[in-house]
Amino acid sequence: MTTKDKGDQKELQKYLSAWQKRHQEYLEKKSQEKASETDEEERNDETFETSESTETNETDSSEEEKEVQNTNKKRILAVTACPTGIAHTYMAEAALKEAGEKLGVDVKVETNGADGIKNNLTSNDINEAVGIIVAADKKVETARFNDRKVIVTSTADAIKNAEILIKRVLNNEAPIFKAEADNNPKEDIQETNSIGRIIYKSIMSGVSNMLPFVIGGGILLALSFVVERFMGENQLFKLLFDVGAGAFHFLIPILAGFIAMSIADKPGFMPGAVAGYMASQGAGFLGGLIGGFIAGYSIIFLKKMTKNMSKQFDGMKSMVIYPIFSLVITGVLMYFIIVPIFTKVNLIVANWLNNMGTVNAVVLGAILGGMMSVDMGGPINKAAYTFSIGVFTDTGNGAFMAAVMAGGMVPPLAIALAMTLFKNNFDEKEKQSTISNFILGLSFITEGAIPFAAKEPVKVIGSCIVGAAIAGGLTQFWSVSAPAPHGGIFVIPAMPSVHSAIFFVVSIAIGAIISGVIFGILRGKKIN
């Protein structure tokens, strides 16, 4: 390095040192200025903060109190489920939540509705809960509640007695639930106390899963008849008819399959569906129903027979033993006993219906129509509806389908008419449901009347039974026949004749008016 280069380097170092010094001084100055500004801002905000401190503290305190209260709330879980998953499921949910708020209890409800399971109960929920209420009219998953305090009841009971059920849980009156100690836990031990309830829940499980096929297939078949009437047997007619008829072919296999599954879990579905298929060849609806029970209990029998087998064979049980032997047992009984017997029974029923006199038809129609209003979606309602579906699917006779449809439409229409004709007898909150009840009634959704029936069961149910029975009887008097198992007024265009369409509407109108007037009078003037 030359002397000149060394000199340049020294000058550069001096310059850099001077610059670093000035830069450091600059940074220190800016830091001081910033600190000064911060202090000033704090002084300017001090008064404002002080003025709001009391209010803020009060708000925070209030929020903390609420949080503490929520934390300290006892939690009760619930599961609600009805066969159709439309009304009772959600009404039971609402009743339980309302009762929980009244009693200061946090209630979380899992709904098993038509659109699937909502608000699922987690394992943490179950562990933290003081008890569980299972309000279900069909099978739901209960194995997860093993060793927990559980009350098993119906949706109707939950709607009417939600507060009582919650109090039972809080008072430690709920029994300890024990699930079966195998790989496929099924029903809780409480349900074994009532054979009738087991049968009902199994049938409703089958019916609820069958209904989409009934409604969808029935409506498409009805639409195909409309197309045929106005457009002839064209391609659209064939499409609608084939798809609707295809759905109908699944009715009995689905019914039997899910009955068996309700009894024996998943292993029961296959033999049950096969039993239903065999029944559909002649034994019909009743044959399929019984076949479902045979299939389900054949699995239960096989489970007991193989209970002491080594766990090494668990896979073989579900994949080999259960399918093969349950199918053999079910198939033999169906082939040699059930199908021959119920094929003859169906022929007898068909002949009886064809030769039934007007008086007998009117009486039976009135009984079926009245039954639709007794519990509005409950066991009696479903019994009448299931009977009519059985006749409809086995014989094609839609007369009794018309009776139950008319009877089921009367209650919500009657409630809506009562609130329209006797406005002073209802409060504003009640009258808000007028339009919805008209819509539900016209759509053949009986459950719209349940909130009123829950409040005043004698007045509502009594008046509705009268009108529903009259409507059902009139449909038979005027020889009305329904072309589909559901749909309300929306199936009118598909009615087999103008006569049926007109008198179907007239029957419903007469029944609804009579029930509406009776209820309106019985209700009396509302005292504000």
Residue type, 419: M
Domain boundaries defined on the chain? 13-71, 73-193, 195-351, 358-523
Buried b (16+ CB within 10 A) or exposed e, 99-117: bbeeeebbbbbbbbbbeee
* Residue 68 pLDDT exceeds 60: no
Give the range among 186-195, 237-246, 300-309 with minimum mean pLDDT.
Answer: 186-195
Contacts of residue 337, defined as CB under 8 A and 6 or more positions apart, other chains included, come to none
Smallest Cα–Cα separation from 202: which of 262, 271, 153, 289?
262
Q: Are 442 and 409 in contact (CB under 8 A)?
A: yes
Q: What is the pTM of this model?
A: 0.72
Confidence tier at 26 by pLDDT (50, 70, 90): low
* Residue 290 pLDDT exceeds 60: yes
* Residue tagged 């503490």 (tokens): 68
Cα–Cα distance between 136 and 141 in angstroms, integer?
10
- Of 156 and 410, more confident: 410
Give the range among 173-182, 374-383, 450-459, 489-498 with minimum mean pLDDT.
Answer: 173-182
* Residue 235 pLDDT exceeds 70: yes
Percent of the chain having pLDDT more than 70?
Answer: 83
Contacts of residue 144, defined as CB under 8 A and 6 or more positions apart, other chains included, come to 121, 123, 126
Per-residue model confidence as pLDDT tens digits over 395-424? 888 999 999 999 999 999 999 999 999 999
Buried b (16+ CB within 10 A) or exposed e, 149-173: bbbbbbbbbbbbbbeebbebbbeee
Q: What are phi and psi of 193, to 5 degrees?
A: -70, -20
Average pLDDT, the chain: 83
Cα–Cα distance between 291 and 285 in angstroms, integer?
10
Residue 122's beta-bridge partner residues? none
Cα–Cα distance between 517 and 262 in angstroms, integer?
43
- Of 40 and 130, more confident: 130
* Residue tagged 């007024």 (tokens): 489
Antiparallel, parallel or unpaired: β 116-118 and 106-113 = antiparallel
Smallest Cα–Cα separation from 153: which of 191, 189, 115, 205?
191
The packing angle between helices 399-421 and 434-442, to 10°, is 170
Per-residue model confidence as pLDDT tens digits over 197-206? 788 888 888 9
Residue 151's beta-bridge partner residues? 133
Exposed, middle or buried, 341 (CB in 10 Å: 0-12/13-18/19+)? middle
* Residue 486 pLDDT exceeds 60: yes
* Residue 527 pLDDT exceeds 70: no
Is residue 118 helix, strand or coil?
strand
The CATH code that applies to domain 73-193 is 3.40.50.2300
- Interior CA angle at 277 toward 274 and 282, to 5°? 135
Q: Where are the alpha helices (DSSP H) in 232-310?
A: 235-249, 251-264, 269-279, 284-305
pLDDT at 29: 59
Smallest Cα–Cα separation from 500: which of 466, 465, 474, 468?
474
Q: Are 235 and 265 in contact (CB under 8 A)?
A: no
Antiparallel, parallel or unpaired: β 75-81 and 116-118 = unpaired
Cα–Cα distance between 57 and 70 in angstroms, integer?
20
* Residue 118 pLDDT exceeds 70: yes
- Please give the average per-residue pLDDT across 366-392, as a whole number: 88
* Residue 50 pLDDT exceeds 50: no
Q: Are 504 and 402 in contact (CB under 8 A)?
A: yes
Q: Annotated active-site positions, please?
A: 82
